[in-house]
Structure formats: C-alpha cells, structure tokens
C-alpha cells in the first residue's frame, strides 16, 4: 500500500543498447504531460557521490576490479542514490524514473560476471532491504542487435560493452530469470521494434499495472 502522497518508483532495465535511455526519456515526458511530477535519474549515478563512483566503475584503473568489488561499488553508489535522490523525491510525491537499478547488479555482476545470486542478494538485503520498484520495465532483445546499436553510437564502447558475447548472454538470461521470479513487479517488453512501438507498449503496461491514465 502507498500512502496518498508517496510517488512511484519506476525502473528500466535491459541489455546493452536495448534503448533504456531512449525509453526512460520518452516515458518521463509522457508522465509529465499527464500531470505527474517526475524525477529522471540513472544508475550507477544519480547524485554527486554516486556519479564519482560511476567514473571508477565505467573507467577502472589498469588491473580492473574484482567482481565482488564491482558489486560493492554499485551498492555503495545505490545507497547514496537512495538516500540523496530517490527516497526524498518519493516522499515529496515525485514519480522517480530510473535508468537501471538493483536488477542490473544481479544480472551483470551476479549472472554476467558469475559472482552468484546469493552474494548479490546478501548485499541487496543489507543496503536496500525491502525497498523495491513499483514497476520494472525489462527491455529485452537479442544480444547481437543491442550490441550493434551501442556500437553504432560509440564504437569504442565502455568496459561492460567490451566484454564477450557469453557474458552478455548470461546478463540477458539473468534479467529474464529476475522477471520470472518477480512477475508482479516486472514487465518484459520486446525492444526489437521501433522506438514508438516500444514506447506505446511501455506506456500501456505501466498505466495498466499502476492504475493511472497516461
Ligand atoms: N551496470 C550498471 C552494472 O554492471 N551493474 C549495475 O548495478 C548497474 C546499475 C552503465 C553500465 O553499467 C553496468 C551496465 C552498463 O554496462 P551506461 O553508459 O549507463 O553504463 O550504459 P547502459 O545503461 O547500458 O545504456 P546505453 O546507453 O548503452 O544503452 P541504452 O540506454 O539501453 O540504449 P539507448 O537508449 O542509449 O540507445 C542505444 C542506441 O540505439 C538507438 C539510440 O538512438 C542509440 O543510438 N535506439 C534504437 N534504434 C533502433 N530502434 C529502437 N527502438 C531504438 N531505441 C534506441
């Protein structure tokens, strides 16, 4: 149950290049046009301290980071983001629309880097507890298509985009496993369509699930 003044927390997840940033922006515009107060944010990042951690995660020093260190850093950034941006905005009645959240750590570090679901769940319980998104949109598409889109946009890629194909396949399987385990929270949307078709599907599903007119 939500108290009348609390906003809603909407997260977007998916493989590289699935169109999250595009769809987050379109959905935020749609929600604002419907008269909702919206905060658009992202992970890793979303507040100054978490943005600094993002720099370390996406551009680590030579020698890299261990999978456990990566997961710890994502959760440190998340704790900052929750306390400084997400929770205050929800308390003020904003809809917080977030480009990636905790499911990304489970999919990328837990499944992709094979840290294991148990380790990520333990961190999640410690840092996030019972807090969860009201709805999570998982944009799903073949790995090849997503990586091709990401590469067309920035050929050099970030450190995750440069990881091998099997890694990205495990990430995609991880997201689909999360969706199966949390059917009330997660909706899987076929993202291998035009931006407009994906945006329509996202808008209709969120409106239906959360009982709002968008
Ligand atoms: N990460 C993150 C972890 O490992 N663990 C964690 O816990 C968290 C939170 C973040 C990286 O960190 C990792 C995951 C990521 O690798 P990022 O720079 O924020 O890095 O990158 P991503 O979240 O992956 O986002 P991208 O910007 O790479 O991709 P998006 O947001 O999925 O896609 P988008 O919208 O930018 O679109 C990509 C391209 O495709 C086009 C767009 O115009 C753009 O050029 N496009 C379409 N083309 C055709 N048809 C459509 N329907 C299209 N939609 C978009």
- Tens digits of per-residue pLDDT, 19-62? 999 999 999 999 999 999 999 999 999 999 999 999 999 999 99
Residues forming a β-bridge with 190: 140
- φ, ψ of residue 62 in degrees (nearest 5): -55, 140
Contacts of 202 (CB under 8 A, 6+ apart): 23, 26, 27, 137, 189
Asked if the peptide bond before residue 44 counts as cis, ω within 30 degrees of 0, the response is yes
Per-residue pLDDT at 23: 98
Helix (H, G, I), strand (E, B) or coil at 5: coil
Rounded CA-CA distance 20/69 in Å is 25
Per-residue pLDDT at 159: 67
Rounded CA-CA distance 13/21 in Å is 10
Q: Whose CA is nearest to atom 10 of ligand 1?
A: 44
Q: Which tens digit of pLDDT belongs to each residue from 76-86?
A: 999 999 999 99
pTM beyond 0.85: the answer is yes
Q: Which tens digit of pLDDT belongs to each residue from 92-137?
A: 999 999 999 999 999 999 999 999 999 999 999 999 999 999 999 9
Percentage of the chain exceeding pLDDT 90: 87
Mutate to test the pocket of ligand 1, among 11, 15, 16 (most ligand atoms within 8 A of CB): 16
Ligand 1 site, CB within 6 A: 14, 16-22, 43-44, 58, 74, 100, 104-105, 108-109, 149-150, 153, 158, 160, 194-195, 198
Residues forming a β-bridge with 186: 136
Mutate to test the pocket of ligand 1, among 22, 70, 151 (most ligand atoms within 8 A of CB): 22
Q: Is the pLDDT of residue 156 over 80?
A: no
Mean pLDDT of the chain: 94
The structural domains of the chain, ordered by start, are: 9-210 (3.40.50.300)
151 class by beta-carbon count within 10 Å (0-12 exposed, 13-18 middle, 19+ buried): middle
Per-residue pLDDT at 3: 45
> Where does the pLDDT of residue 186 fall: very low under 50, low under 70, confident under 90, or very high at 90 and above?
very high
Q: Whose CA is nearest to atom 8 of ligand 1?
A: 104
Residues forming a β-bridge with 140: 190
- Rama region for 85: left / alpha / beta (φ>0; ψ in -120 to 50; rest): alpha
């Amino acid at each position: 149950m939500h108290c009348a003044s609390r906003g809603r927390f909407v997260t977007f997840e998916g493989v590289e290049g699935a169109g999250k940033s595009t769809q987050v922006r379109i959905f935020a515009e749609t929600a604002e046009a419907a008269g909702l107060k919206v905060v658009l944010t992202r992970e890793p990042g979303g507040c100054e301290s978490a943005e600094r951690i993002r720099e370390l995660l996406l551009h680590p020093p030579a020698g890299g980071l261990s999978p456990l260190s990566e997961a710890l850093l994502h959760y440190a950034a998340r704790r900052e983001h929750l306390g400084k941006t997400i929770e205050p905005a929800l308390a003020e009645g904003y809809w917080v629309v977030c480009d990636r959240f905790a499911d990304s750590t489970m999919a990328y570090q837990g499944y992709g880097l094979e840290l294991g679901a148990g380790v990520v769940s333990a961190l999640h319980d410690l840092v996030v507890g019972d807090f969860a998104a009201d709805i999570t949109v998982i944009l799903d598409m073949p790995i090849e298509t997503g990586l091709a889109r990401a590469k067309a946009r920035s050929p050099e890629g970030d450190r995750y985009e440069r990881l091998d194909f099997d890694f990205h396949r495990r990430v995609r399987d991880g997201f689909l496993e999360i969706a199966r385990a949390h059917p009330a929270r997660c909706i899987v949307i076929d993202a291998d369509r035009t931006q407009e078709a994906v945006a329509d599907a996202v808008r209709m599903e969120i409106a239906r699930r959360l009982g709002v007119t968008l």
